[in-house]
Structure 1
């Protein structure tokens, strides 16, 4: 029996807002157990018992097969027959094999518990946000939980399991509330939710990286754990976690009926006696509890909470009745088990057995989740709610006097920032010492210090200028004031190229490393551009695919580090945190060359940038080949980003903050935005680097951490100010 609903009766997973009638992916519109055009409570129509039973059996059998293979994998020659005889009370295993069994079984059980917890958590978050991309990863729950655990580890105090879980819960809840608040609980669409979650995650990871770099001894081993590892030493942790898991699952199942009614829309649910606010709060609390439990067991295993429920809802589209939350949540949990165990089995097939305990399972699940995110973004329609904003970010026109005054003030500020950067550090250098150094009459100590400090100052200034110009170009091409090279995957691509050159070719020279960074940036940019292009280039698709690409590439960077040179994690972390430590004058040459080439090009194309930033139609009317112009401009942004990565490593948020602040100061015309943004970017990175070298001297905080700490509040402000707009 099917009831007739209002136009608001759409799949809560795929609607872009509360009660929205349109799904961003049409063929997923019935994933809640209804046929196309049907309304009513999700799943309260016809129920295919045969279909539901069949898909459950298929997933269960697949899970059992994976579990059987999983138990046979390891470093010791213990096969399936040996395990079967041991399990049935037959031939006893020797002591060594018994120890291995004691480690294999807990690893398997950890995978099962994590899959169940994240499957439930992701399904609940997708339903409460009515957004197919809501998950513990995209809502920064995992990042918040990870940060709090690392922060407590710094003190070197052994934290009991339940206290550790409580800490992780508090951190994850705070991050989720912030992201949901910035995206109005997901009502502003999947794009804004992903962008907000990615930016908050990026900021939290910057803090984690800073702690890992500054407290290397206290946080040893947490880098690999931070990628999500189900390796267990014994079953004590799992025994303690089981009661919490059962309580969380029971609480989730207890609200399934209310979640079905909530899918009708807030007004309809209220009429039917459901407290919308209480239901949402309960759902978020339960999902964060389960996600924090998974982090406590195995670290933040990436994207299982996105992939499992999304796959479950895809299946539910084909099986009437499976969309009922009482069935959907357990089914998502079973899919979660398959995802985690499948990823772990695959990992131990392709990675040498001696390294299977060092390489985390979360690397594979992150790549799977990133691929799903890209797939979903490619299926989004070319129009509709998204991130396109032709007018909202252009800034008000400013007079020539205002522009000249702003430019002069920024030039003076840049000079002051440069002088301060030279003078301040772990020791104070006087202006007289600088004058003596310039005259080549300084003492040995000053000469050595200036030889170390000046290249760092130049690297920060040039990298900041390059990132700001790259961000200006990216925001114009995407017509989105919240886009930046880091969130489009360009920065991570350049970082992957540079890190790969450093780790795979010991003692690699500057120019080969620069070439690797450029290649990585260009390959990722080309992939993002090609995948986002479908009957035209939607900026919403571009951003979502970029975020997915960034997540996948960062997972590959972690894999590369842990497989090749796990004993030099701190070296790679310093690079990924955006540090100017140990820079030489030679390392500033690539970014200087790129700036000398791209700045004139950007000035020459300033009119095209103005027009491309308007809309899709105006450039074509004026005879500008839009896709060709976008490709050229994004290629220039990739070169700038790669040059900056060579100079300072991975620095975030500069490409977001500097162009936006420039438009606020001098208006939207790129003839004015370009120089102002370049000056702001140089000031921002140089200032962050100087504070990092001076504030906690002799401890040095990477410049990328400083820009993240400065840029995140500004980004939050931008998101909060634009809540509720069609952006």
Structure 2
């Protein structure tokens, strides 16, 4: 195959990838509009437009700007962050089953958030902007523990060993959380139950602002490292031969992935499978190169979470199904399918 043919093929593949990204973006915009009009109180398209233009009633503005829009924005941000976090972990560990929820990273972050909230007289009194930092500490410690327990000197980190270690650590942390709930008052117990179910509990603009700095810093950093991740995916020896500082790059990327997952958990609860489904669908659509796969993962993760949240708020009105449960209904069968295909 000549060099010109290869360049032509790569150019066509890139154009196809960009087209698919544009299609996913359109789907997100559509889901965004539908989600703004989903809830116990319906707003007609005309009322929605008037409210967006500042011509709605005080009640309509309260519903849209104070309740629905913050939750929708948070859904998009955590979906993108969790999907990219999963993509990075799959690349660093070279394990298609890696996901911050399955590996227990989310559980470690959630335990620290729960401990922090339990020290305050009410859940609303906890300092919102400190929650992602505390969650990062818990997630980082959990990731380090899973890495050390999974590592074998002559084999590295076998995929199934990593998976089983993560599941075991997550189960232990979940058990610790359940024991701690026995000492909580009813309000805080309700908070923990909500978190465990994967319900987006941070639904105000202050939670958006607490999450935004982590997304703004870490998401572009990971995408900037796309070429490095392409090299790392070739294996440690090959990457070293090509001049990559493998250990340093893996540590930095894993820290970024843990930060994205922890910040998301701090405002969204234990939503799993987003970091598994998003990257896998992205690879099928745009290929394995991270320059396109990472943005595609972010968009697909955002689309998955906002769709799940919208369905959860719509299907049993006036009650709602936690977003994490809706995502699990989608993600669990896909996880079992991937597990069945894994050879080692």
With normalisation by structure 1, the TM-score equals 0.44
Asked if the contact 1:466–1:591 (Cα under 8 Å) also holds between the matched residues in 2, the reply is no
Within the candidate set 499, 506, 524, 2:142 is matched to 524
User: Which residue is 2:69 aligned to?
Assistant: 454
Cα distance per residue 1:502-544 (max 9 Å; x no partner): 2222321102322221211111112223333453742434333
Residue aligning to 1:538 = 157
1:195-210 alignment, distance < 5 Å:
none
1:690 to 2:272 alignment: no
Once the 2 structures are TM-superposed, how far is the Cα of residue 444 of structure 1 from its aligned partner? 2.0
CA separation of 1:581/1:505 partners in 2, compared to 1, >3 Å: closer, same or farther?
closer
Tell me the secondary structure at the aligned position of residue 574 of structure 1. helix
Change (3 A) 1:542 1:632: farther
- Give yes or no for contact 1:456–1:580 (8 Å, CA) kept in 2: yes
Q: Which consecutive unaligned segments of at least 5 residues does structure 1 have?
A: 1-396
CA distance in 1, matches of 2:210, 2:91: 25
Whichever structure has more helix as a proportion of its residues is: 2
What's the CA shift string for 1:4-41, capped at 9, x where partnerless?
xxxxxxxxxxxxxxxxxxxxxxxxxxxxxxxxxxxxxx
After TM superposition, the structure 1 stretch with the greater mean CA deviation from structure 2, 612-621 or 649-658, is 612-621
- Match of 1:355? none
CA distance in 2, matches of 1:542, 1:419: 40
- Quick check: 1:504–1:564 contact (8 Å CA) kept in 2? no
Match of 1:705 among 318, 325, 338: 325
Q: Partner of 1:645: helix, strand, or coil? A: helix
- Whether the aligned pair in 1 keeps the contact of 2:308 and 2:323 (CA below 8 Å) is yes
Question: Match for 1:612 among 232, 240, 243?
Answer: 232
CA RMSD of aligned residues (A): 1.9
- 1:410 lines up with 2:24 in the alignment: yes
Tell me the matched-pair count: 328
Worse overlay, 627-636 or 691-700: 627-636
Distance 1:464 1:689 in 2: 11
1:475 aligns with 2:90: yes
What's the offset of the Cα at 1:716? 2.6
Q: Does 1:638 pair with 2:258?
A: yes
Name the counterpart of 2:334: 714
Following superposition, the deviation at residue 549 of structure 1 comes to: 1.6
Alignment correspondent of 2:286: 666
Residue 133 of structure 2 contacts residue 263 of structure 2 at CA under 8 Å; is this kept in 1? no
Is 1:726 aligned to 2:322, yes or no? no
Higher Cα Rg, which structure: 1
- Whole-Å Cα distance in 1 between the matches of residues 186 and 252 of structure 2? 38
Q: 1:431 maps to what in 2? A: 45
Q: Which residue of 2 aligns with 1:494?
A: 109
Q: Go from structure 1 to structure 2 and tell me whether the alpha carbon gap of 1:718 and 1:545 turns closer, same or farther (over 3 Å shift).
A: closer
Deviation, structure 1 residue 581: 4.5
Q: Choose which of 38, 46, 54 in structure 2 pairs with 1:440.
A: 54
> Is the counterpart of residue 559 in structure 1 residue 179 in structure 2?
yes
Residues 289-313 of structure 1 show CA distances to partners (whole Å, capped at 9, x for unaligned) of xxxxxxxxxxxxxxxxxxxxxxxxx
Following superposition of structure 1 onto structure 2, how do residues 215-226 of structure 1 map, counting pairs within 5 Å? Answer: none
Indicate the structure whose relative CO is greater, using CA pairs within 8 Å and at least 6 residues apart.
Answer: 2
**Match among 222, 230, 249 for residue 629 of structure 1:** 249
| Secondary structure in structure 2 of the residue aligned to 1:487 | coil
**Offset of 1:696 from its aligned partner?**
0.7
| Residues in 2 aligned to 1:523 and 1:673: alpha-carbon distance in whole angstroms | 28
TM-score, structure 2 as length reference: 0.90
Relative distance call for 1:401 and 1:582 in structure 2 (3 A) is closer
Distance 1:590 1:535, change over 3 A: farther
**In 1: Cα distance, 2:208 partner to 2:91 partner:** 27
CA–CA separation in structure 1 for the residues paired with 2:251 and 2:93:
12
CA distance in 2, matches of 1:532, 1:591: 30
Asked whether the 8 Å contact 2:105–2:261 carries over to 1, the reply is: yes
Query: In 2, distance between residues paired with 1:449 and 1:403?
Result: 37
Shift of 1:436: 2.2
Query: Once the 2 structures are TM-superposed, how far is the Cα of residue 632 of structure 1 from its aligned partner?
Result: 1.3
Instruction: Give the conservation status (yes or no) of the 8 Å contact 2:76–2:302.
Output: yes
Aligned to 1:350: none
- Aligned pairs for 1:375-390 (under 5 A) are none
Establish whether residue 465 from structure 1 lines up as the match of residue 80 from structure 2. yes
Q: Is the 8 Å Cα contact of residues 223 and 295 (structure 2) preserved in structure 1?
A: no
